[in-house]
Amino acid sequence: TLSDRLTSVLQNLRGKGRLSDADIDATCREIRVALLEADVALPVVRTFIAKIKERAKGAEVSGALNPAQQVIKIVNEELVGILGGETRRLNLAKNPPTVIMLAGLQGAGKTTLAGKLAKWLRGQGHTPMLVACDLQRPNAVNQLQVVGERAGVPVFAPEPGNGVGNPVDVARRGIEEARRAQHDVVVVDTAGRLGVDAELMKQAKDIRDAVEPEEVLFVVDAMIGQDAVNTAQAFADGVGFTGVVLTKLDGDARGGAALSVREVTGQPILFASNGEKLEDFDVFHPDRMASRILGMGDVLTLIEQAEQAFDQEKAEVAAQKMGSGQLTLEDFLEQMLAIRKMGPIANLLGMLPGAGQMKDQLAMLDEKHLDRVQAIIRGMTPAERDDPKIINASRRLRIANGSGVKVSDVNDLVNRFFDARKMMSQMAGRFGMPGGGGGKT
Ligand code: GDP
Ligand code: MG
């Protein structure tokens, strides 16, 4: 799948200290193949690759991320962009009812979607109604009625026995009924064909003109790949739509259609369907879809955390202070919080060079103990944090009471802090850290 391929492409970058232009070119070539194999439309692939290349080559060296992470971050951001960036919310009419018309080929999942939308809208506090305008297929009206019942919403349908009926007329009367019964949203289900044809387009267009929908949602089966683009284009020209709904994302299609349709038609994807049941439905979130396509949810989270936790300037100042023995408890707290943001301390320990020789100090870093340390430092005044030397016996008692610990805990922390500060400045001397005076002479 697309996800598997992208994952392995980007995995190959890991462990590289620096990326050459050749590395980036090779990576982009592979991403290109992966996208094409996933049925992403060629023009979309071209634009995408060009952007990635340009950004990757021009990327500033980041303090927080290694080069591979940086490329992953860029690919992810561009994926999110191509998928529409922000989550697009449903437009509601100023004067209810809001009319939402569904359009798309037969079998795309419109009728199923009508039920899903109805249920979801109810959950959002709306009072939706469905209108059955697919009078083409013998069982279509009944199918919508079943779906409506499951969702617990009323369905407006032409009276049986009145001949085939006119879908435009049904649509118009449906809206009138919704207004009368004070439904604030109306979902209009329409007929599809197996392929794009002129009659289908005309009917859909006539319904649209009759009900003036707030949203026309083009419903498309994500599994049809390249064809999604052509179909979308035909509907965009023939009927016009304001948003896209991708269905059958539970199939093995992993984003080809999503990437193409949005980019080619310029219309946002609003919802995603991923199963036959009414609950298999969600608002479409470009960022979540991107990480699903990338198949790197964990890596992306890690990148985000690393970036958040990393504040170049603060770290430099702290390193400076560490080296010169001026570290305060405030700095200490800040660093501790930054590190804790990245996850359980135990996972990070392995990364520390020479961790073995600092056993005693590292014993402090057990999670429960860290909570206590945090509480103690928070219980200190700024002056105390700044200059722990002033923390005399009566202050220790006050801090202990204030943060719910024993005086011996406060003593312990203060003593260990002094030890650690001394040790850091010695280490800085040995390793030539800034401020340690070990480097320059
Ligand atoms: P319509 O012709 O556009 O109204 O399409 P339907 O709503 O009748 O759906 C056609 C078929 O696709 C039905 O068998 C649905 O159960 C199925 N279907 C619809 N949406 C999904 C989906 O998200 N996932 C899966 N697996 N099947 C779906
Ligand atoms: Mg249908």
Residue 187 domain-assigned (yes or no): yes
**Are 377 and 241 in the same domain?**
no
Indicate the top mutation candidate among 105, 112, 133, 277 to test ligand 1's pocket, ranked by most ligand atoms within 8 A of CB: 112
Are residues 118 and 69 both part of a single domain? no
Annotated binding residues for GTP:
104-111, 189-193, 247-250
Instruction: Looking at the structure, tell me whether residues 214 and 352 fall in a common domain.
Output: no
* 224 and 203 in a common domain: yes
Indicate whether 290 belongs to any domain.
Answer: no
Instruction: Judge if 321 and 301 occupy the same domain.
Output: no
CA of 177 to the centre of ligand 2 (A): 21
Q: What is the domain-level CATH number for residue 251?
A: 3.40.50.300
Looking at the fold, whether 301 and 321 belong to one and the same domain comes out as no
Dig out the tokens for 170 from the structure: 């049904």
How many whole angstroms separate alpha carbon 110 and alpha carbon 400?
A: 64
Residue 416 lies in a domain: yes
> For residue 347, how many other CB atoms are within 10 A of its CB?
9
Domain membership flag for residue 439:
no
Testing ligand 1's pocket by substitution, the residue of 106, 218, 276 carrying the most ligand atoms inside 8 A of its CB is: 276
H helices present in 158-311, as ranges: 167-180, 198-211, 227-238, 256-265, 286-294, 297-309
Q: Which residues pair with 271 in a beta bridge?
A: 245, 283
Nearest-angstrom CA–CA distance, 421 and 323: 9
Residues 6+ apart with CB under 8 A from 15: 68
Tokens of 343: 């996850």
Give the dihedral sign, CA 104/105/107/108: negative
The reply to whether 78 and 113 lie within a common domain is: no
Instruction: Name which of 7, 22, 18, 25 is nearest 67 in CA terms.
Output: 18
Question: Within a domain: residue 386?
Answer: yes
Query: How many whole angstroms from 112 Cα to the centroid of ligand 1?
Result: 6
Please check whether residue 92 lies inside any domain of the structure: no
The count of domains in the chain is 3
SS3 helix, strand, coil % of the chain, rounded to 5? Answer: 60, 10, 35
pLDDT per residue, tens digit, the chain (441 aa), is 777 777 777 777 766 667 788 888 888 888 888 888 877 888 889 999 999 999 888 777 666 677 777 888 888 899 899 889 988 999 999 999 999 999 999 999 999 999 999 999 999 999 999 999 999 887 999 999 999 999 999 999 987 765 567 999 999 999 999 999 999 999 999 998 888 888 889 999 999 999 999 999 999 998 887 788 889 999 999 999 999 999 998 876 556 787 888 888 899 999 999 899 999 999 998 888 887 777 766 666 666 766 666 655 566 666 677 677 777 888 778 777 766 666 555 445 544 444 445 555 555 556 777 788 888 998 899 889 988 899 999 999 999 998 889 999 999 888 888 887 777 777 666 555 444 443 333
Specify binding-site residues.
Answer: 104-111, 189-193, 247-250
Q: Is residue 221 part of a domain?
A: yes
Residue 91 domain-assigned? no
Give the distance (Å) from ligand 2 centre to CA of residue 106: 7
Closest atom, ligand 1, to C-alpha of 251: 26
Residues 30 and 114 grouped into a single domain: no
Burial of 298 from C-beta contacts in 10 A (0-12 / 13-18 / 19+) = exposed
ipTM of the complex: 0.99
Q: Tell me the ligand closest to 134's alpha carbon.
A: 2
Q: List, in sequence order, every residue forming a beta bridge with 187; answer none if it has no partner.
A: 100, 130
**Which domain CATH number covers 404?**
1.10.260.30
Query: Side by side, which strands form the sheet with 128-133?
Result: 155-156, 128-133, 185-190, 98-103, 215-221, 243-247, 269-273, 281-283
Same domain, 272 and 172: yes
Q: Say how many residues make up the chain.
A: 441
What are the tokens at 35?
A: 């996208």
One domain for residues 47 and 126: no
Measure 248 CA to ligand 1 centroid, in angstroms. 7
Domain that holds residue 358: 312-431
Report which ligand 1 atom has the smallest distance to the Cα of 281.
23
Atom of ligand 1 nearest to the CA of 108: 3
Residues 197 and 108 in one domain: yes
